Amino acid sequence: MDSVIQSIEEWFKGLLVSGIMCNLNNTFNALNDQVGEIASEVGSTPANFCPEIFDMIKNLSENVIMPIAGILLTFIACYELIQLVISHNNLANFETWIFWKWIFKTFVAVTLITNTMNITMAVFDVAQHVVSSAGGIISGNTAIDASTLASMESTLETLGVPELLSIFLQSFIVQFLIYVLSALIFVIVYARMIEIYLMVSLAPIPFATFGNREQSMIGQNYLRSLFALGFQGFLIMVCVGIYAVLIETVTFTTDIVGSLWGVMGYTVLLAFTLFKTGAVAKSILHAH
């Protein structure tokens, strides 16, 4: 009778151990896949991320927003000419060079607005180069090697049924929470790219304000915001690198439960810091 109970217990232990290892494998694979996806997505330019969306945004910008920007540029150019004329004591001290100055400023403004898409894409090309260079330095691998998993399985086999049952339930909870956090990280990364598309779609309007010193603050702030969005990708890569280093410091062979919740805590920290990258980038570049 004792041998039958012991056989059932061993069978149940093996079932729990295999279930725990399955949960651990799924957890670490989900983490590594999500981290690898972050590294690849933030290094994409708007044109490469989704060409179909980019073509739609480009057509909207050039065919819908560009005429509005042209009207705005016309008003700003007229206003600038009036300001140049009346600034010389209402033509009492009239100088013809002010017209050349106005022509030059208007020419520059028209050149900027006609090359809006090229300028905005140049910003993200620079950012993509920085992110790609950082990717060669920052290690974003959170995979657990086979020897570590084998050691964890050996440790589990030495435990009793109550401990294994507790670890199984906790590993299942952690696995579920990791999936939730992975979805949250996915939303953060993709929301950044959608924000970039939204910014690019309205690009001609802020570029039309460069013809006037007072109104040019709109265009300057817009450029700072573009650079902030571009270099947010670099900050995301830094967060991923820090996260990978923190995961490597977790010891999985001695305290499996503590290690699991440690990974959970680091993943929560990663999601929180990814949320903050946009605000940090805008703060550094003084973008509003």
Look at the block and give the residue holding tokens 């571009």. Answer: 230
Number of C-alpha atoms within 13 angstroms, CB side, residue 179?
A: 9
Contact 205, 116 (CB under 8 A): no
* pLDDT of amino acid 88: 64
Q: Is residue 8 classed exposed, middle or buried when 0-12, 13-18 and 19+ CB atoms within 10 A define those classes?
A: exposed
In the numeric block, which tokens belong to residue 134?
């950082």
Distance in angstroms (rounded) separating the CA atoms of residues 227 and 121: 11
Distance in angstroms (rounded) separating the CA atoms of residues 273 and 133: 21
In the numeric block, which tokens belong to residue 40?
């690849």
In the chain, the amino acid numbered 264 is M
- Mention every residue, 6+ apart, whose C-beta is less than 8 A from residue 48: none
* pLDDT of amino acid 196: 92
Distance in angstroms (rounded) separating the CA atoms of residues 155 and 171: 15
The overall pTM is greater than 0.75: yes
In the numeric block, which tokens belong to residue 61?
């910008």
* pLDDT of amino acid 197: 93
Evaluate the CA torsion angle 174, 176, 180, 182 in order and state its sign.
Answer: positive
In the chain, the amino acid numbered 193 is M
pLDDT by 10-residue block (mean), the chain, 288 residues: 66 75 76 71 82 91 90 86 70 68 84 89 87 68 64 73 79 80 82 91 90 82 91 86 77 70 82 88 85
